[in-house]
Structure 1
Amino acid sequence: MVKLSAVRARLAEPSDLAAVLPLVRSARADSPLGPQFVAPEVAGLETHLRAWFEMPESRLVIAEVDSELIGLALLQCVSPGLLCDVPYLQVEALYVHGDHRRQGAGRALMQQGAIEAARHGAERIVTVPLTGARSEQRFFSGLGFSPAGSRRVAETASVLRRLELAPSATRERRTRGLDELIARRRRSRGLPETPARGVDLTALVERSQAESRSMHVNRAVQTRRSDPSSSTAIS
């Protein structure tokens, strides 16, 4: 058990879950992930909380002041795996009620979490990015945490749609770009924007590009200054 000032942090027990539930709802409402991940209310939240609590790798730490629950930390003990060679403790969420912040509750929760990490044999403690707020960054920096990677989010349907349409969409953009290039070249020469049927568009573009390169070379030759070292002095 850890005690800082009037704040006490400890591991939650099954009998604490009913009191933890309102705080979980507050944390969900305060989540920066918003509707992409978190709905204001969800059916069966108590069932989800109990199922999570009963998982062997889960650790629920709560902070109290005068028997009032004011904060929680959701922790996961992660064993070595294919992409990680050391055990670590992951802080999935660290939440303190708005009326009790800056009173040491966050530090008490993290201290109890660090004790659980040591008990688990975890060599690292990893925090999942929460709000990204400067106050949060300063809090974790003050405890010795440094940045490691970042997360991005996208709708599954959007990713599938882009993956399925990427080849055809790329071809369509290239074709549209080719048509626009041809139209600009023809306008610059006073020709109709739409070439006559049967014209090889690829050959037309290549010939136009070759003419452009030749024009730039001739212009460079005409404007090139003579090399003083090769000039002949006239006496």
Structure 2
Amino acid sequence: MTARVAHAEDLEAVLPVLRAARADSPLGVQLINPDSGALNELLRAWFGMENSSLIIAEVDETIVGLALVQQIDVNLFSDIAYMHIEALYVDNEHRRRGVGRALMHQIAVVAARCAGERVVTMPLTGARSEQRFLSGLGFIPAGSRRIAETAALLRRLEQPAGGRDKRVRGIDELIARRRRSRGLPETPPRGLSLVDLADRAERTDRADQDGASSSMQVNREVQTRRPDSSATAIS
């Protein structure tokens, strides 16, 4: 088994392994069609990009693993140059035979030649075996991905952020809670706006509170009033 940086003439033989890697990705149909007819063109376009490298592992001159890496220079979000692993994949039949380590060794060599101070990767499959492999080589977690459909995101963004919608929901909940406490149906009567109903509920609450306060004051006065001397019993 050997691992090396691929050449242009290796690209055709890389395609089957690349399709298997795409099919094994946890992103699935959300981002990936393993049988894409444009895969050959996409691979050649990526191979021709500046700072990109394709590393392959071979057993008996058959490609059994690959790594797609890119050199990232110092930029607004990174104070150091690093090597980013876009994909690292070994086919099922040749796993746990040192193929992954050989690929990673070549990646480290390429990173050192490019003065990359770090090697960064987003695990392709997310499998536990892959996580253990990376942890055994000293990789630690750093960040995560989130995904959303563009159309769904636009619909969410077109809705008001909090504001009136949030206030209406709050008023609706307030009305339902007040009506339940009074044993009334939760559906409000027609002809009144939510704001009117909320004001009515608040006025009712204030009236209840004022009534309770007055009752407490009267009770307090009764309790603290001195007994009438004429009503004193003499035994």
TM-score by length of 2: 0.80
Query: Quick check: 1:64 aligned with 2:58?
Result: yes
User: What is the letter of the counterpart of residue 182 of structure 1?
Assistant: I
Q: Distance in 2 between matches of 1:212 and 1:141?
A: 63
**Alignment partner of 1:94 out of 88, 92, 103:** 88
- Indicate how the Cα distance of structure 1 residues 182 and 44 shifts in structure 2: closer, same or farther if over 3 A, else same: closer
| 1:125 CA displacement | 0.5
> Once the two structures are superposed, what CA deviation does each residue of 1:43-102 show, in whole Å capped at 9, x if it has no partner?
221111111111121110000111111000000111111111110000010000111110
Match of 1:118 in 2: 112
SS in structure 2 of the partner of residue 61 of structure 1: strand
Query: Quick check: 1:73 aligned with 2:76?
Result: no
- Indicate how the Cα distance of structure 1 residues 202 and 15 shifts in structure 2: closer, same or farther if over 3 A, else same: same
Match of 1:179 in 2: 172
Count the aligned residue pairs. 212
> Once the two structures are superposed, what CA deviation does each residue of 1:173-223 show, in whole Å capped at 9, x if it has no partner?
5424423432442343355753585683332232355547997xx99xxxx
Q: Distance in 2 between matches of 1:97 and 1:170?
A: 53
| 1:165 CA displacement | 1.3
Q: Distance in 2 between matches of 1:213 and 1:119?
A: 80
C-alpha root-mean-square deviation of aligned residues, in Å? 2.8
Q: Distance in 1 between matches of 2:210 and 2:97?
A: 70
CA contact (8 A) 1:185 1:208 kept: no
CA contact (8 A) 1:64 1:70 kept: yes
Over alpha carbons, which structure has the higher Rg? 2
SS in structure 1 of the partner of residue 132 of structure 2: helix
TM-score by length of 1: 0.80
- Indicate how the Cα distance of structure 1 residues 214 and 113 shifts in structure 2: closer, same or farther if over 3 A, else same: farther
Match of 1:29 in 2: 23
Q: Distance in 2 between matches of 1:24 and 1:94?
A: 10
**Alignment partner of 1:11 out of 5, 9, 12:** 5
Q: Distance in 2 between matches of 1:213 and 1:140?
A: 68
Q: Distance in 2 between matches of 1:90 and 1:127?
A: 6
Query: Quick check: 1:189 aligned with 2:182?
Result: yes
SS in structure 1 of the partner of residue 12 of structure 2: helix
Query: Quick check: 1:85 aligned with 2:68?
Result: no
- Indicate how the Cα distance of structure 1 residues 209 and 111 shifts in structure 2: closer, same or farther if over 3 A, else same: farther
Give unmatched runs, 5+ long, in structure 1. Answer: 1-6, 220-235
User: What is the letter of the counterpart of residue 175 of structure 2?
Assistant: I
| 1:33 CA displacement | 0.9
CA contact (8 A) 2:174 2:198 kept: no
CA contact (8 A) 2:57 2:103 kept: yes
CA contact (8 A) 2:89 2:124 kept: no
Q: Distance in 1 between matches of 2:66 and 2:191?
A: 73
CA contact (8 A) 2:71 2:83 kept: yes
SS in structure 2 of the partner of residue 129 of structure 1: coil
Match of 1:144 in 2: 138
Match of 2:228 in 1: none
CA contact (8 A) 1:71 1:97 kept: yes
CA contact (8 A) 2:84 2:119 kept: yes
The percent identity for this pair of structures is 57
